[in-house]
Structure 1
Amino acid sequence: MQRPDNFESLLEAYPIKVANFEGPLDLLLFLIRKHEIDIQDIPIALITEQYLEYLELMQDLDLDVVGEFLLMAATLIYIKSRALLPRPVSSEEGSEEDPREALMLRLIEHRKFKAAAELLHERETVRSAQWGRPDDRISEIAGEEYEPELEVDLFSLLTAFQAVVERAKQRPSMALPIEQISIETRIEQLVARLSETEACGFEELFADASSRADLIATFLALLEMIRLKLVRVFQDGSFGPIRIYKRARPVDAPTPIGDPLA
């Protein structure tokens, strides 16, 4: 993905931290689930290639890719190169730790904690619906079969955004220069749109984007709205359509990054 002109000015003083959403183990689990791979039989070459593609996309978006993501990338590359090279015969071979097996054990352990956290979240959602009913408007829009446990993670959003960018490449480019929109302005526009419709499809957010810079600003605005708890994002099944729902901002919501009082 090529950066638009003056891309740095678009994100000046407006960093989005990947750590606010997911970690490197979550990305690996996402790729494993996406390809329906047995966690104990990971095709390291395929996973490494796709992990690096997602890492490159996050860096192209100027997401603050923390050291853990880069360390995992180095680990995957090491495991991949190790698998391609013949192993020397050594009497101490049995005592050497297999990095692939160590990674597999970390993933299994992380998946257990992630499943437990999702179960607790699901129970909390059910309890809230029974007593507080904070999401009545969402239920009315989505219908009785609405499943709140299918909340979208960062990497599903990145996958959907990749598809939007690829489709945008097929459109004829504008000959005239277009004024670059700020992320803060884009947030205001999206909030106004959701105030009218309450919910919209992921691709609808980008319908009026006339440049690559607009696409990026819209996506980063959505990430910031998620962080600020202005919206909730759900997916129909593991890889189905994504929809964005407006929510009343809770009192414990984070402060906007651009807020001078932060």
Structure 2
Amino acid sequence: MSTELTPGAPQELALPQSEASDLPEVVDGVAVARLYGEPLFKLPQDLYIPPDALEVFLEAFQGPLDLLLYLIRRQNFNILDIPLAEVTQQYLSYVEQIRRHNLELASEYLLMAAMLIEIKSRMLLPPKKADPNSEPEDPRAELVRRLLEYEKIKLAARRLDELPVLGRDFLRAQIHIEQSLTPRLPEVSADDLRAVWADMMRRAQLKQHHKISREQLSVREYMSHLLRRLQGQRYVEFEDLFELDRGPQVLVVSFIAMLELARERLVEITQAEAFAPIYVRLAYTPA
């Protein structure tokens, strides 16, 4: 069975006291580890440790320009007059280190190293004078321009990272503010009307007379009657619009008239709050 252990300081696995008492005593050496309660005095022969199991990065760079800028700024070189021989030598030594471990990561660094060598070779050649009145072009000019632009972007990114970030440095406070200036009254539901109507019918039955009569009742007539009752009134309580002493027939016709007026949007039925008295008012202002 293959077992992976970390070499170094001794390790012990926690075991119950009953099992720990059965362990053999160490006489000639010190166990480097315990495996299933048994002491190990040397590492197993089949222990495999991958070569890249432990990696330590002393410096982390974001790319070739980042490494080159680091070498220049660390030694206080003038970026407009870079000593390419010394910087290229240091750059290649670092690239050689990362090439041994990760060839894919070193590919882009090798491209920059080739560019540095090319610039150095161009500096060793006699400059080409296209115009006798103009100075010869510095082969390092393009590299300096890229380094300066990269440094500006890097400093700007650092300043942006120092700004407070939502979710990292602070949380957004949420509060609900009622934006409406006019108070909104709760809407009267059908259940509220049914409850009021049932209460009125119960009270009307207590006052009814055993008198048989025939009366022609008109819904339109009672609609006009209710509108006249509401004129000049700001609010009228729902129950005050009905004549309880005239019997259930009149109450039924009056209630139907009230519903017709509400359906035609001639009256409004409102309520200040839940379980509060219900009021009726005109939905328009009479001339």
Tell me if both proteins adopt one fold, taking TM over 0.5 as the criterion. Answer: no
- Which structure would you say has the larger RCO, counting Cα contacts within 8 Å and 6 or more residues apart? 1
| Structure-2-length-normalised TM-score | 0.35
* Higher share in helix: 1
| Structure-1-length-normalised TM-score | 0.38
